[in-house]
Amino acid sequence: MTTMKDVAKATGLSLATVSRVFNGSEKVTEKTRKTVLKAAEKLNFRPNKMAAALRSGKSRTIGVVVPIIDIDVFSSAIKSIESYLREAGYHIIICQSEELLEKEGQILENLLNLQVDGVIISVSKETLNMNHMQELQDAGISIVLFDRRLELENVNSVIINNFSGAYRATTHLIEQGCRRILHLAGKSSVSIFRERQRGYESALKDHGLPVDEHYVFPLDLESEASLDHLRYLLQQDPAPDGIFAHGDYYAFGALNILKELNLRVPEDVAIIGFGDSPFCAYLTPPLSSVNQRNEDIGRMAAEIMLQELNEADHARVASQSMIPPEVIIRASSQRLTD
């Protein structure tokens, strides 16, 4: 393995000068630069990043922590994080917390040992605070949260705007002529689900429609009784003519029940989900949904990380980004063909 020392020897220059050529930044004559590069080329020299990392204290490595890799939202985000950071000369180390706080803690410790320059993380469901990140922060390692945010000031985060997504989805249904819109709600303990419900209610109000609490129903796909209640709701007179589900799986479940009851979609009931899961396009009829812009979230998280890393003074104010989602309209909610 040839090293900078070899290149220095070959060119008659000093080790320092050779190093400067590869750092790019520092001043070095165009002539010596060429000499060095040519010699390096000939000797097939490749700089050892480990050594550079050790000496400089900068590994140009970013840890990316997600609960689990092969879930659409995470793999898409990772995809754009990777490509964005690679362009900037960083590489990423992927870790999975498996939704376990303890494992997440181990991973963060491990990343600290690896001298990562930053950590982009979507926290586990068990994670309620940033205590286990204290050491990272103390070590001056930049942190960006994405998708799953902790409700904390002073921490960089990127999430989609759940309120706005729900608002837009509900508004879309209203525009398609729906007047009695059911909301299949999520657990109200989860903030993003509360946001979605708020968006739904806000849209109804803004369009002069009543908010009927019976129309907000936390469907449980596992419970036959819960499914029965949905059947019951759909057969009332007047019957609901629209459904906004807080997640695509719930919309899918409702879709099956609508078929079972011989209700036409979207003519009798228009329906829209949330998440724009890959399967939406394949349902019969294809399901409208709110796109979570996972790639954009990843890109933005990477962007913020880079800013953070380049900011010389470490006194940046934390940026809390909310990306507005996009309503993807498919046949399940498309009544008008304007």
Partner DNA sequence: AAATTATATGTAAACGTTTACATTATTTCC
Partner DNA sequence: GGAAATAATGTAAACGTTTACATATAATTT
DSSP labels for 131-165? GGGHHHHHTT-EEEEESS--S-TTSEEEEE-HHHH
4-11 vs 15-23: helix crossing angle, rounded to 10: 110
Task: Give the footprint of a copy of itself on residues 171-230 (CB under 8 A).
Answer: none
294-310 vs 72-87: helix crossing angle, rounded to 10: 40
- Three-state DSSP class for residue 295: helix
CB of 139 to a copy of itself, least distance (A): 8
177 binds, among a copy of itself, DNA, none (CB under 5 to 8 A by kind): none
Identify which of 155, 129, 158 has the alpha carbon closest to the alpha carbon of residue 142.
Answer: 155
Does 17 interact with DNA (rule: CB under 7 A)?
yes
- 12 or 208: whose CB is closer to DNA? 12
- 84 or 163: whose CB is closer to a copy of itself? 84
Does 235 interact with a copy of itself (rule: CB under 8 A)?
no
Q: Pick from 11, 19, 35, 76: which binds a copy of itself (CB under 8 A)? A: 76
The amino acid occupying position 270 is A
Chain mean position to CA 99: 15
4-11 vs 30-43: helix crossing angle, rounded to 10: 120
Q: Pick from 12, 50, 225, 315: which binds a copy of itself (CB under 8 A)? A: 50
- What's the chain's length in residues? 338
Contact 177, 144 (CB under 8 A): no
Does 70 interact with a copy of itself (rule: CB under 8 A)?
yes
Stretch of 17-25, 176-184, 216-224, 271-279 lying at the interface with DNA (CB under 7 A): 17-25
Site string for DNA, 28-67 (x = CB under 7 A): xx-xx------------xxxx--xx-xxxx----------
Cβ neighbors of 36 (< 8 A, separation 6 or more) are 7, 11, 13, 17, 18, 21
Does 14 interact with DNA (rule: CB under 7 A)?
yes
- 37 or 211: whose CB is closer to a copy of itself? 37
DSSP labels for 86-149? HHTT-EEEEEE-TT-HHHHHHHHHHHHHTT-SEEEE---TT--SSGGGHHHHHTT-EEEEESS-
- Three-state DSSP class for residue 292: coil
282 binds, among DNA, a copy of itself, none (CB under 5 to 8 A by kind): a copy of itself
Does 312 interact with DNA (rule: CB under 7 A)?
no
CB of 298 to DNA, least distance (A): 28
Residues within the interface to DNA (CB under 7 A): 1, 3-5, 12-17, 19-20, 22-23, 26-29, 31-32, 45-48, 51-52, 54-57
Interface with a copy of itself (CB under 8 A)? 1, 46-51, 53-54, 59, 61, 68-70, 72, 75-76, 78-79, 82-83, 86, 91-96, 98, 109-110, 112-115, 139, 252, 278-279, 281-284
